[in-house]
Amino acid sequence: MVEFYDTTLRDGSQAEGVAFSVEDKLIIIEALDKLGIRYIEGGYPGSNPKDIEFFKRAKGIALETATIVPFGSTRYPTYTVDADPNLTALLDTGARTVTIFGKSWRLHATDVLRVTAEENLELIESSVRYLVENGREVIYDAEHFFDGYADDAEYAIETLRAAATGGASCLVLCDTNGGRLPLEIQEGVKVVLSELSLPVGIHTHNDAGMGAANSVLAVQAGATHIQGTFNGYGERCGNANLASIIPTIQLKLGIKCLSDTQLQALTRVSRLISELANLPHDERQPYVGSSAFAHKGGLHTDAIRKNRLTYEHIVPETVGNTQRILVSDQAGRGTIMKKIEKEYPDYDKNSPQVLELFKRLKEAEQEGYQYEAAEASFELLTHKVFNGYESFFEPVGFRVIIEQFSDYAMRSEATVKVTTPDGLTAHTAADGDGPVNALDTALRKALEQFYPALQTVRLIDYKVRVLDTKAGTGSKVRVLIEASDGERTWSTVGVSENIISASAKH
Amino acid sequence: MVEFYDTTLRDGSQAEGVAFSVEDKLIIIEALDKLGIRYIEGGYPGSNPKDIEFFKRAKGIALETATIVPFGSTRYPTYTVDADPNLTALLDTGARTVTIFGKSWRLHATDVLRVTAEENLELIESSVRYLVENGREVIYDAEHFFDGYADDAEYAIETLRAAATGGASCLVLCDTNGGRLPLEIQEGVKVVLSELSLPVGIHTHNDAGMGAANSVLAVQAGATHIQGTFNGYGERCGNANLASIIPTIQLKLGIKCLSDTQLQALTRVSRLISELANLPHDERQPYVGSSAFAHKGGLHTDAIRKNRLTYEHIVPETVGNTQRILVSDQAGRGTIMKKIEKEYPDYDKNSPQVLELFKRLKEAEQEGYQYEAAEASFELLTHKVFNGYESFFEPVGFRVIIEQFSDYAMRSEATVKVTTPDGLTAHTAADGDGPVNALDTALRKALEQFYPALQTVRLIDYKVRVLDTKAGTGSKVRVLIEASDGERTWSTVGVSENIISASAKH
């Protein structure tokens, strides 16, 4: 059995661009608990008042599996344990389990803490003992264990012994700088298991791209506690990614930790955390990215039509993901057939409509369109080619005015004129919070008269990408828009020199 | 000695969102050659007319180290070797070295090629032999070797023996589906080296997050040829990332493959390839991302002030990268001091200006500003706090009109009115390709009258991020702008409900 320890909320929030509000954190702990995570490190109360607030509010939440854990350090050299503000902050959270880190590398003892190697051992032992005497379960994070081991193996082991003597319940070996290689991790874990009789944990970083591999090799060497973050968020290149490690351990090492239903929630939880971190989801992520089971090469898409095992290492649905077939300039007509075969089963590779669709795709890609991320635009194009162009409305024109002068507030106003195939005309105007909003509102006013179903449609995400950076503000832009009617979500793409026009092309 | 084989231009372009033009490819091969890459896989001439064009044009380029290699498959079962269009396309490129892949996994022989296991061995041997007889060096890619080995080890080895008998010069073991673990790779490489007397190569994918680790373990087991892509581009989750593997092998395994100067170009080449792939550079990438040596946690920034080894696994300059200190809501005043100490050496943590700057940063972050990626905005804010507000101009107002009606073309027009501290006024108007360009042009017209130095400044990149997706098109946006005067590049940030106003805030 292996237990997972998530530190997205603490180590993860040390990633560039990541900051969680207390509300975000409360949503995340509920999701991680349901997923079957054993420990959730919620924050560092000794360093951050926002985290103290979090631990207060987290107490009100009933969890099924998870224990919320505060993180801190061994006591400061200048304080006794009972006067140490950091240890006091840990106890004040009221948490039953606490994690503290100490120094395993002489360099850190002498150069950062500025104590002797002997004093450092005492800091570790006394801090752990004080927390244990106060009724806490103590997880001990041996910071820089592997660097320390490489520098002075005997001393690194001594620091663990100090924690064990103090009463720690688990010794977590950390590759804090993320530069150690899998076989070094394997050796370190084996040696510690042979020298000490406590359960061993692993905490790795991704600075050499080995975060997940190092965690998996540690488990193969006998570690039973794994620390990591979702989406690999963390200082510098990030921590080991639990969204990669959990399915690898469960599906490939055959160590069952989560129920099948919990594992199927993996992709959803990973996306939720990206959303709350306010970062684009890394779509190339193993298991949980939208590219993880997306096939583009012509040979690959051909082969998976015959047998999906040929180019998929696991069944995507096991982790709540799905297979996708991409349309690109590498796509042959076979790929296009695979995408349209459900809706247009009576056509083959040589039908004039398929040839026409193929030609139009190539032309649009030349112009800067990319359909890989814009399924709805691909569907619209296919619909036009196969069923002829059915226009629901004809745009006559639009005008957007954005102005701000010192004597009045910023204002965005749009007017829109459209006609329907029946000869009806709508001419509307609207204000908005910005030009895209004003245009959207005016266009809705016009179209909702004829098509009330549009009322449920709203914008989910809006992405702008400059295509030709050499042309400065005169560059072409590609605008990708994600919209939803509350049930389905779809993406469309537009390209223009004008950001407003590129948006309107959707 | 280990040789690197780059397949960014072939396997890399199977990544979602990646497409290289022939011009892009020619730029990339020159950069990879200078970097010291031994082989560059340029394309798949049998599947793609664009790639045939590339090989024609690549002949005109003089390279120092690299050999350009075309990629293809063993012959199709329905053709003899000399009539096979794929083998013919390989020979037609005129390349001295060619790579072909064949099937090592029974499942692929029977379910994809639809031949017997015996026939598959013959396809491999005859195809390799035909190319060798035509004077080519043949690198043999054993597709799905590790999956095949797990399924039927003896047969997988037989397929390699067929390639060796045909005359292949290197046997590359591929984890095509990317789902194998490091210890499996290690075992596979050792067995093949003991069974066959040819050099062994490795080609891995990242579907379980093990791409780089699997390559490194293969080298530790005796492989001497490593295939990968820059930035890890490739089908699904991507190929093993050469930008991670090269420095790991050179700096951590101590196998010198590149000169020190070549290694220092690593970050630049990696960024160039992102640029040409037209994708945002993955800043969390090991070694070559801008976050790779960026420190955010208060304790970390404090420690690296004392000794940079404490939280950096290598010296960033070795790979052409640099250390960065981030400003964030986790940053204590120590972090801020580290950022400003050069320009304002006479202040300390408790100076009123430092306290004021700290307060303003926290307030701006609450509003949605993020300074981590906008150094120039941070500098401006610091300048305001320390030196008082020196306004170079006062905006009186602006108006932007974007319109398109069926009787005339799209038009964007902006007017701008500004005053200078000396009481001068400029009131200008300009058309533009889109509203941001119109506004930019009008504002330049006004300001260049007073500040001619602005003429050299141009926009490099423009990124828009919706901050609150729940508010639809009325959402707040954060606009990040990168600008350059040809020598230095800087980034600024603005937040508003109005995309035009958020841009103008820069």
User: pLDDT value at position A460?
Assistant: 57
Whether residue B357 sits in one domain with residue B398: no
- Burial (Cβ within 10 Å: 0-12, 13-18, ≥19) of residue A346: exposed
Whether residue A402 sits in one domain with residue A264: no
pLDDT tens digits, one per residue of B447-458: 787 777 777 776
Lowest mean pLDDT among A210-224, B302-316, B414-428, B439-453: B439-453
Domain contains B151: yes
Q: Measured between CB atoms, does A466 come within 8 Å of chain B?
A: yes
Q: Measured between CB atoms, does B102 come within 8 Å of chain A?
A: no
- Burial (Cβ within 10 Å: 0-12, 13-18, ≥19) of residue A64: exposed
User: pLDDT value at position B379?
Assistant: 79
Last residue of a domain, one of A387, A411, A428: A387
Distance of alpha carbon B143 from alpha carbon B132, whole angstroms: 20
Nearest-5° Cα angle at A160, A159 to A163: 95
Subunit contact B436:A473, Cβ cutoff 8 A: yes
Distance of alpha carbon A370 from alpha carbon A301, whole angstroms: 18
Distance of alpha carbon B87 from alpha carbon B99, whole angstroms: 10
Whether residue A246 sits in one domain with residue A153: yes
What is the mean predicted confidence (pLDDT) over B192-212? 98
User: pLDDT value at position A49?
Assistant: 76
Helices B22-35, B266-277: crossing angle, 10 deg rounding: 170
Which of chain A's residues have a Cβ under 8 Å away from the Cβ of B463?
464
Long-range contacts of B376-384 (CB under 8 A, 24+ apart): B376/B483, B376/B490, B376/B491, B376/B492, B377/B491, B377/B492, B377/B493, B377/B506, B378/B327, B378/B339, B379/B490, B380/B492, B381/B357, B382/B340, B382/B343, B382/B344, B382/B357
B425 pLDDT band, cuts 50/70/90, is: confident
Q: Is B315 helix (H, G, I), strand (E, B) or coil?
A: coil
Q: Measured between CB atoms, does B264 come within 8 Å of chain A?
A: no
Whether residue A258 sits in one domain with residue A407: no
Distance of alpha carbon B168 from alpha carbon B451, whole angstroms: 66
Distance of alpha carbon A328 from alpha carbon A334, whole angstroms: 12
- Tokens of residue A166, six digits: 């103090």
pLDDT tens digits, one per residue of B157-174: 999 999 999 999 999 999
Domain contains B33: yes
Q: Is A328 helix (H, G, I), strand (E, B) or coil?
A: coil
From the list B146, B244, B246, the residue with the least C-alpha distance to B189 is: B146
Whether residue A438 sits in one domain with residue A404: yes
Domain contains A362: yes
User: pLDDT value at position B494?
Assistant: 62
Which domain CATH number covers A41?
Answer: 3.20.20.70
- CB B374 within 8 Å of CB B349: no
Distance of alpha carbon B429 from alpha carbon B397, whole angstroms: 12
Number of domains in chain A: 3
Whether residue B151 sits in one domain with residue B109: yes
Whether residue A325 sits in one domain with residue A206: no
CB atoms within 10 A of CB A27: 15
pLDDT < 70: residue spans in chain A: 297-298, 327-332, 365-374, 389-391, 406-409, 458-506
Which of chain A's residues have a Cβ under 8 Å away from the Cβ of B289?
237
Interstrand relation of A477-484 and A489-496 (parallel, antiparallel or unpaired): antiparallel
Whether residue A324 sits in one domain with residue A404: no
User: pLDDT value at position B288?
Assistant: 97
Q: Is A419 helix (H, G, I), strand (E, B) or coil?
A: strand
Whether residue A187 sits in one domain with residue A84: yes
**Partner-chain residue, chosen from B73, B182, B500, that has the shortest CB–CB distance to A402:** B500
Task: Determine the residue among A110, A189, A237 to mutate to test chain B binding: the one whose Cβ has the most chain B Cβ atoms within 10 Å.
Answer: A237
- Tokens of residue A340, six digits: 């349209």
Last residue of a domain, one of B219, B246, B277: B277
Domain contains B288: no
User: pLDDT value at position A345?
Assistant: 83
Helix (H) or strand (E) holding B123: helix B117-133
User: pLDDT value at position A469?
Assistant: 41
Q: How far apart are the first and last CA of chain A?
A: 51
The single residue listed with the structure tokens 């031949």 is B115
Q: Which residues pair with A311 in a beta bridge?
A: none
B4 pLDDT band, cuts 50/70/90, is: very high
CB atoms within 10 A of CB A115: 16
Domain contains A460: no
The answer to whether residue B466 scores a pLDDT higher than 60 is no
Whether residue A236 sits in one domain with residue A94: yes
- The H helix count followed by the E strand count for chain A is 18, 16
Nearest-5° Cα angle at B404, B400 to B410: 75
Distance of alpha carbon B447 from alpha carbon B417, whole angstroms: 10
From the list A220, A280, A268, A282, the residue with the least C-alpha distance to A245 is: A220
Domain contains B56: yes
The answer to whether residue B493 scores a pLDDT higher than 80 is no
Q: Measured between CB atoms, does A221 come within 8 Å of chain B?
A: no
**Partner-chain residue, chosen from A292, A306, A500, that has the shortest CB–CB distance to B112:** A306
Distance of alpha carbon B219 from alpha carbon B246, whole angstroms: 11
Subunit contact A433:B329, Cβ cutoff 8 A: no
User: pLDDT value at position B502?
Assistant: 56
Distances in Å between the Cα of A109 and the Cα atoms of A103, A112, A150 are 6, 6, 15
Q: Measured between CB atoms, does B329 come within 8 Å of chain A?
A: yes
Distance of alpha carbon A410 from alpha carbon A13, whole angstroms: 35
Q: Measured between CB atoms, does B283 come within 8 Å of chain A?
A: yes
User: Torsions phi, psi of B251, nearest 5?
Assistant: -90, -30
- CB B433 within 8 Å of CB B413: no
Subunit contact B403:A412, Cβ cutoff 8 A: no
Domain membership of residue B380 as a residue range: 294-387
Q: Measured between CB atoms, does A314 come within 8 Å of chain B?
A: yes
Whether residue A240 sits in one domain with residue A132: yes
What is the count of residue pairs from A and B with beta carbons less than 8 Å apart?
A: 375
Q: Is A241 helix (H, G, I), strand (E, B) or coil?
A: strand
Q: Is B259 helix (H, G, I), strand (E, B) or coil?
A: coil
Q: Is B474 helix (H, G, I), strand (E, B) or coil?
A: helix
pLDDT tens digits, one per residue of B14-63: 888 888 888 889 999 999 999 999 999 999 998 877 888 899 999 989 99
- Burial (Cβ within 10 Å: 0-12, 13-18, ≥19) of residue B401: middle
Alpha helix stretches (DSSP H) within A62-203: 85-92, 106-108, 117-133, 145-151, 153-166, 182-195
Distance of alpha carbon B450 from alpha carbon B445, whole angstroms: 10
User: Looking at chain A from residue 127 to 166, which residues have their Cβ under 8 Å from any Cβ of chain B?
Assistant: none
User: pLDDT value at position B443?
Assistant: 81
A395-419 as b/e, with b when 16 or more CB fall inside 10 Å? Answer: bbbbbbbbbbeeeeebebbbbbbbb
Domain contains B237: yes
Interstrand relation of B294-295 and B324-325 (parallel, antiparallel or unpaired): parallel
- CB A325 within 8 Å of CB A303: no
**Partner-chain residue, chosen from A313, A405, A466, that has the shortest CB–CB distance to B462:** A466
From the list B90, B116, B121, B87, the residue with the least C-alpha distance to B104 is: B121
Distance of alpha carbon B320 from alpha carbon B271, whole angstroms: 11
In order, the DSSP letters of A265-299 are: THHHHHHHHHHHHTS---TTSTTTSTTTTEE-SHH
User: pLDDT value at position A64?
Assistant: 94
Cα distance from A209 to chain B (closest Cα, Å)?
6
Identify the DSSP state of B387.
H
Q: Where are the beta strands (DSSP E) in B212-259?
A: 225-228
Last residue of a domain, one of B277, B311, B336: B277
The answer to whether residue B330 scores a pLDDT higher than 80 is no
Nearest-5° Cα angle at B25, B210 to A493: 80
Report the mean per-residue pLDDT for chain B: 86
Distance of alpha carbon A455 from alpha carbon A448, whole angstroms: 7
Distance of alpha carbon B428 from alpha carbon B399, whole angstroms: 11
Domain contains A506: no
The contacts of residue B415 (CB under 8 Å, 6+ apart) are B398, B399, B427, B428, B429, B442
Whether residue A150 sits in one domain with residue A31: yes
